[in-house]
Amino acid sequence: MGQSMAGMKRTHYCGEVNEALIGQDITVMGWVNKQRDLPNVIFIVLRDRTGIFQIAVGKETDYYQQAKGIRGEYVVAATGKVIARTPENVNPDMPTGAVELDVQELRILSEAEVPPFQVADEDVGVDIRLKYRYIDLRRPAAQEILRMRHQVGQTVRRFLSDNGFIEVETPVLTKSSPEGARDYLVASRTHPGEFYALPQSPQLFKQLLMISGIDRYFQITKCYRDEDLRADRQPEFTQIDLELSFVDMEDVIALNEQLMKTVCKAVMDIDIPTPFPRIPFAEAMERYGSDKPDTRFGMELKNITHLVNGSDFGVFQGAIDAGGSVRGILAEGSAGMPRKQIDAMVELVKQYKAKGLAWIVIPEEGSIKTTLSKFFSPEQLDEVVTYFGGKSGDLIFLCADTNAIVFDALGALRLEMARRNNLMDPKAFNFLWVTEFPLLEWSEDDQRFYARHHPFTAPMDEDVPMLEAGEGLADVRAKAYDMVLNGYEIGGGSIRIHQQDMQSLMFKTLNFTEEDMQKGFGFFLEALKYGTPPHGGLAYGFDRMIMLFTGVDSLREVIAFPKVKDASCPMTNAPSPVVVQQLEELGIAVVEDEKAIDC
């Protein structure tokens, strides 16, 4: 059983103790990082959120025997005099390594069992770390991430407040949306058979705030999506959400560039040049095969359809005849890539529905080697190599299919080759805007258009006639803009539709009946009748932003208590069954064999 800290007050954090305090009596408290038992003295290294500090318990004190029983992760308090270490015992690798505490009183506040892993161990599997996340978070690196997260949040709040924004909280229990990702639903006890939805975004509420005259709104808020997870997705995530009235796209972009410039300088002491580069969606796909391109390296896609059209190679010609294309990338210095690794790249693109890859190796000596030698003459192959700017030691990958599949496959291959060749500078922060997104995207499965962003995004003025005529809908562009950093979308936004007739037209274009519109969004359409200012905004993925700023490779590392791939929490074992009485109060029965819920 631990002792009380009654009568003891912490005077200093461990990481704050330095030579200026020599001769002073202080009290420190923390976790035992390490204990060394020497013949006449026991050294204990204490750890708290600020760092580590060594205390010394002499054999002549009343606390020597107590100190002998102290193990790692015990929580202790120590009072004593700060003394200089002898020259031979100074630890230059430790910020507090020139001093130590000559202990005059020692208390064990809490004992600890042997932990499932050591705090200093960096090779612990993610499953065990997340099951004991409260121990994992004792690691200085983990705490530094949470500290940066706090600093970014505080900087954002200050900047937006200084620029006239008002922080407003919006509801967490809200109405389910018929569009977009799956909602997390919450059963209502007072309205049997009816459900709230947890918000995927405060989208409609922030637009209603603009109708209310708030003019500039923001909040740092939790959002929820019931979707499959990956390294940069979580079922519950945090958005930095903002909306402005009487603005156009240029206003929103300029403000957010200054916000990011301010955050990067305040938190990381990095000067980000502005304005950020801009690239239209269509150009981003043509050059990078991605609407969130990583521009820290080249390896841009090239279209060689015109060079290979009319060939006897059925894979290429079939794709061209079907309206697709043949494109590729040049991987400089990769001619020595083993065949096994080339085959791995073939399997990679198959994950993106590509049928395979053709390749051309340009060796340091001798003629080129390729899978295409049966179908193209040496002169034709030389023409392709020249078009890519290939030279000795390079490797060219080619893919043929529909444009969408080619872009996805080569975009992913480009990133993988950059990883393998260490082309991604971890210290570079390449911000850019992607603009002019398609307003709509066609679903072959449903044979209908869906909103690419959301159904409240305004079309570009010059494309409104196409929307009104219902013609060329795939070519209608949106007043949408994404902020991209190093291959990740960290923020997305748009100028919104602010006229009721245009909003109704958008819903009709998406095959909404009048009943659908009223059932799903009637309250919002009603609000648009009463004077709506032109407005627009942007939402940042706060977790993803911190992931990029800290250089970790998973959102799990930047969230205090994250979920794993199946959307469960290994620490609390959520989700979990509930007692039958709770279900009965909600009018719900769980049908185990059908894996369904009957209301």
CATH number at residue 38: 2.40.50.140
Ranking 116-125, 268-277, 554-563 by mean pLDDT, the lowest is 116-125
Tell whether 436 and 546 lie within a shared domain. yes
Ranking 23-37, 242-256, 352-366 by mean pLDDT, the lowest is 352-366
Residue with tokens 């407040």: 161
Tell whether 155 and 257 lie within a shared domain. yes
- Sort 153 into a burial class: Cβ within 10 Å, 0-12 / 13-18 / 19+: middle
Predicted confidence (pLDDT) at residue 120 exceeds the cutoff of 90: no
Region 391-411 average pLDDT = 97
Tokens of 319: 């794709």
Ranking 68-82, 103-117, 168-182, 564-578 by mean pLDDT, the lowest is 168-182
Domain assignment of residue 90, yes or no: yes
What are the φ and ψ backbone dihedral angles of 407, each rounded to 5 degrees? Answer: -60, -50
Domain assignment of residue 444, yes or no: yes
Which of 110, 130, 152 delimits the end of a domain? 110
* Domain of residue 361, CATH code: 3.30.1360.30
Domain assignment of residue 182, yes or no: yes
Region 552-578 average pLDDT = 93
Task: Quote the pTM value.
Answer: 0.92
Give every CB contact of residue 405 below 8 A, 6+ residues apart in sequence.
324, 352, 353, 354, 399
pLDDT of residue 599: 45
pLDDT in tens, 221-265: 999 999 876 666 899 999 999 999 999 999 999 999 999 999 999
Region 303-332 average pLDDT = 96
Domain assignment of residue 116, yes or no: no
Average pLDDT value for the chain:
94
Instruction: List Cα–Cα distances, 205 to 40, 195, 201, 452, 529, in angstroms.
Output: 68, 18, 9, 20, 16
Tell whether 412 and 436 lie within a shared domain. no
Residue with tokens 């690798």: 93
pLDDT of residue 387: 97
Tell whether 355 and 229 lie within a shared domain. no
Tell whether 437 and 409 lie within a shared domain. no
Tell whether 271 and 187 lie within a shared domain. yes
Tokens of 388: 């890519």
Tell whether 417 and 366 lie within a shared domain. yes
Tell whether 81 and 52 lie within a shared domain. yes
pLDDT confidence band for 306 (50 / 70 / 90):
very high
What are 563's strand-pairing partners? none
pLDDT confidence band for 26 (50 / 70 / 90):
very high
pLDDT in tens, 410-449: 999 999 999 999 999 999 999 999 999 999 999 888 889 9
Domain count, the chain: 3
Tell whether 458 and 497 lie within a shared domain. yes
pLDDT of residue 406: 98
Domain assignment of residue 180, yes or no: yes
Phi/psi zone of residue 551: left (φ > 0), alpha (ψ -120 to 50 degrees), beta? Answer: left
DSSP letter string, 418-483:
HHHTT---TT---EEEEE--BSEEEETTTTEEEESS-TTBPBPGGGHHHHHHT-SGGGPBBSEEEE
Residue with tokens 């078009």: 387
Contacts 24+ apart (CB under 8 A), 117-121: 118/72, 119/31, 119/33, 119/47, 119/72, 119/73, 120/33
Ranking 44-53, 103-112, 425-434, 586-595 by mean pLDDT, the lowest is 586-595
Contacts 24+ apart (CB under 8 A), 364-368: 364/335, 364/392, 364/393, 365/392
User: Of 233, 398, 423, 216, which is closest to residue 304 (Cα–Cα)?
Assistant: 398
Region 123-129 average pLDDT = 91
Which of 423, 458, 484 delimits the end of a domain? 423
Domain assignment of residue 310, yes or no: yes
What are the φ and ψ backbone dihedral angles of 452, each rounded to 5 degrees? Answer: -70, -40
* Domain of residue 251, CATH code: 3.30.930.10
Q: Which domain holds residue 86?
A: 14-110
pLDDT of residue 232: 64
Distance CA 365, CA 208 (A): 67
Percent of the chain with pLDDT over 70: 97
User: Of 480, 372, 354, 478, which is closest to residue 411 (Cα–Cα)?
Assistant: 354
pLDDT of residue 122: 82
The H or E element that residue 541 is part of is: strand 535-541
User: Of 477, 530, 520, 471, which is closest to residue 500 (Cα–Cα)?
Assistant: 530
Tell whether 441 and 383 lie within a shared domain. no
Predicted confidence (pLDDT) at residue 592 exceeds the cutoff of 90: no
Domain assignment of residue 191, yes or no: yes
Give every CB contact of residue 430 below 8 A, 6+ residues apart in sequence.
294, 295, 296, 485, 486
pLDDT in tens, 483-541: 999 999 999 999 999 999 999 999 999 999 999 899 889 999 999 999 999 999 999 99
DSSP-derived 3-state class of residue 332: coil
Region 288-293 average pLDDT = 97
Tell whether 217 and 91 lie within a shared domain. no
Domain assignment of residue 290, yes or no: no
Predicted confidence (pLDDT) at residue 195 exceeds the cutoff of 70: yes
Predicted confidence (pLDDT) at residue 178 exceeds the cutoff of 80: no
Contacts 24+ apart (CB under 8 A), 90-97: 91/54, 94/52, 94/54, 95/15, 95/18, 95/51, 96/14, 96/15, 96/17, 96/18, 96/51, 96/52, 96/53, 96/54, 97/54
Tell whether 105 and 147 lie within a shared domain. no
